[in-house]
Structure 1
Amino acid sequence: MAVWRARAVLSGLPAKLLTPVLTTGLLFAALPARAEPRPTVKQLKKELADLQKDSDKLITEYYASRIAHQEADKAEKAAREKLATAEETYEHHSTSLRAMAVAQYTGGGEPNPITFLAGEDEPSARLGRMALVQHLVDVQDARVHGYAQVMDDRRKANDEATERAEELADTVDDLGERKKKAEQQIEKIKDRIDLLHAAPGVRNSDGTWVPELPDGSENITPRMRLVRDLIADRFGVPYGIGCYRPIQDGGEHPLGRACDFMLSRGGAMPSGDEPARGEEIAAWAIKNARRLGIMYVIYRQRIWHVRTGAWRPMSDRGGTTANHYDHPHISVY
C-alpha cells in the first residue's frame, strides 16, 4: 500500500521536481552497504590474549576440581580403614568378653588378679569376680558406643564423599567441555591472525615465487622471516630456531631461505610434547604453504613438497638431527 501511495505522489509532481527526487533515490540505491572494518593484528592479538587468560582460568579450575576429587577419595578411604580397624577391635573384645562370661558362668576360666588376693570360696572373691565382670562389661559398653560412633561417622563420610564425587565429576566434565571450546576459539583467532599477513615478493603465474635476496643482520629473506616469526608466535619453539648458516651444502640455509625449528638440544631425541609440537608446525606450514611461499617441509625423515602435495620418505642420513627427528625444516621460495 505504501508503495502505491508513493507512486501516486510522485506521479503528481512536476517533471522538474520529479527528476531530482528520482536521481537522489538512484544514488542512494547505488551506494554499497558499509562492511564491518577488518580487525587489525593488534586487535586480534588482544582478543587472543583475553581468550587465553580465560582458558588458563578454566584449566586452573579444572585441576582444582580434580584435586578436590582426589581428596574426597582419600577421605573416604581413610574412613573405611578406620571402620575396619574399629570392627576388628570390637570383634576381638566381644569374643574375649563372651569367653570370660562363659567361664564365669561355668565356674572355670583363667584365674584373675583378684583370685590371688582372696580364696575362691570367700565372699570377697565372689564380689571381686562380679566387680571385674561388671568392669569389663562397662568397658566393653563404652567401646561399643565408641565404635558405633565411628561407624556412624564412617557412613556420613562415605555419603558425603559419594555426593561430592558426583558433583565434582559433573564439574570436571563441564570445565573440560568449556576448556575444549576455548582452545578451539583460540585456534580460530590464530588462523585469522595468520591470514592478515601476506607473503612478500612476487608470485609467478604457475604458483611459484620469485626468489628474494636475504637482508638484515640475520641474513634471511623477508619471506623466510615472516614464516619464522609466525611460527615462533604461534608455537613457542623453546629450543630455538636456526636459519642462516654459511656452509654450502646445496640447501637453502646459506641462501637465507630455510629455518630449523628445534625440539631438543644436543642432538637428543625429542621427548614429552615436543614431537607433537613438530607435527603441528609441519601441518601449519603445509596448510599455509601456497599463501606464504613455502616450498617444502622436512620432518622425521620425510619430505613434503608443495608441487606434489604429499609426504615421501627420505634415505637414512645417519643421525637424529640429520634425519630431522629433532626439528622440522622449512624452506621458502
Structure 2
Amino acid sequence: MILGAPAVAAPSDPEGGSKKLRAALDSAAKGYDQAKNKLAASKKRQKQLATTISTSEASAKALTAQVNAVANRSYQMGRISTVTLLLNSASPDDFIGKVQSLDVLAQMDSSTLAQYQRDIDAAKQAQTALTAEIAEQKRQVNVMARKKREAELALAEVGGGSAGGFVSVDSPAAKPAPRNSDGSWPRESCTVNDPTSGGCITPRTLHAYEEARSDGFKRYTECWSQRSSGEHPKGRACDFSSAVGTFKNAAATGEDKAYGDRLASYFVKNADKLGVMYVIWYRQIWMPSSGWRAYSGSGGPSAAHTNHVHLSML
C-alpha cells in the first residue's frame, strides 16, 4: 500500500470546475439515486401486492360455493325457533341433538363467511395500495428525469455534451458495499482512517478503494485532502494516478492512458454495487443519470483529469 504525498503535481483545487458545479452535481446525483431506490422499492411492493390480490381473489372464489350454501341454509332455516324444535322433537335427547347440530352448523357458517369477508377486504385493500404504488412510481420517474436534467444543465458549464466514454464488459465485478434493508445507502461521515493520507474517509469510500486494489488497480492514490470544496475533504472522493508511483504533470499516454481507461470502466460497471456518485477521466464525466458527458476542465492535466481518475462517492 503506497502512502504519503505525491512527489510531483497533485490534483489541484478546483478540479476543472467550480464549487457551484460540484454542489449541483452532488444534489443531482443524490436526488437521482434516492428516486431510483424509491422506484425499485415501489416496484417490489407492487409485485407483493399483486400476489396478495391474486391469492385473496382465488380464496374468495373458492369459498363462493360455500357462501351460497350458507345463504340458502339461512333462508331455509331462518324461522326455526327453540319452540319449533321442541314441538318437533320426539324426546329431550332428540331436541338437544338438534340444537347441537344447529350450533355446529352456525359456527361453520360463521367461519366461512368471516374468511370470505377477509379475502374480499384484503383484495380491496391491496388494490388500493397497488394504485398508490403506481402513482408513486410515476412521481419517482419524474424526479429522476428532473435530476438528470439538473446534472446536464450544470455540466453545460464545462462542456456537457454526450461523449463516447469508457466502458468495458471485461471489467472485474466488485463486492457490493452494505446497503440499508430498503435498498438505500447508509448515511456515512468521515469516520475511518484513510490509508492514502493522514486524513479520514467514509466506510463506503474505503470499500471502493480496497475493491479497486484487490482487482489490480494499485497505482498511487490520494483520497482525503484539505480543499475548499468538493468531496475530498468529506472523505468521499479519491484520485487514482494513471502513472506508476505518483501523479504526473502531463496527460497520460500509452499504458498509463490504458490503465486509466480500465479503472474508469471498472468504477462505471460497479457503480451500483459501490455507491459511485460520479467518475471523471480524460475530459469526461460519468454519472448514473446521464452516462458519459464531456468535461472540459480548464487548466493543466489535474484540472482536465488526464493524469488521474477521479471518483466521488454517494
Higher RCO (CA-CA < 8 Å; seq separation 6+):
2
TM-score by length of structure 2 reads: 0.42
Larger helix proportion, structure 1 or 2?
A: 1
The structure carrying a bigger strand percent of its residues is: 2
